[in-house]
Amino acid sequence: MAGEARDEPEPSRRHLHPIALFQTTLEAASADDVKKAVRRGLLKQVMKLGKLVSKARQDGKRGEKARKKLGKKLDALTKKVERLPDKKMAATVRSTLAGLSRGARARVPAPAG
């Protein structure tokens, strides 16, 4: 029907990498949900991961090394988010961010060998 709202995501967010979704979710969270220092630290970590994702898309040894490092860094990010107390991050935001980081980890191919 004309004029009816759809439940589809915006076209710009439809094909974003889970790291980018992690970043936008973190930025959109209110100040009460995520403390300032935690937000700043996680955003810094995510910015570094974004650069590593672009390196991991390459072929050869450089890409393989970046994929291996990216997997370890994503595991560390997931663990860090899951262990944050309610005082520093709301449980709903924490579970969303942990799910996004696990989803990003699932997209990283396992190292050969």
Model-level pTM?
A: 0.80
pLDDT tens per residue across span 58-109 = 889 999 999 999 999 999 999 999 999 999 999 999 999 999 999 999 988 8
* Longest distance between any two alpha carbons in the chain, whole Å: 54
Q: How many domains does the chain have?
A: 1
Could you tell me if residue 13 is inside a domain?
no
**Residue 40: inside a domain, yes or no?**
yes
Q: Flag whether 6 is in a domain.
A: no
Which amino acid appears at position 93 of this protein?
Answer: V
24-35 burial by CB neighbour count: b if 16+ within 10 A, else e? ebbeebeeebbe
Asked if 97 and 24 touch (Cβ cutoff 8 Å), the reply is no
53 is a domain residue? yes
In a domain, 63, yes or no: yes
pLDDT, one tens digit per residue, over 12-28 is 445 567 889 999 999 99
Residue 76 to residues 57, 63, 83, 104, Cα–Cα distance (Å): 20, 20, 11, 12
Residue 89's domain comprises 34-107
Q: 2 in a domain, yes or no?
A: no
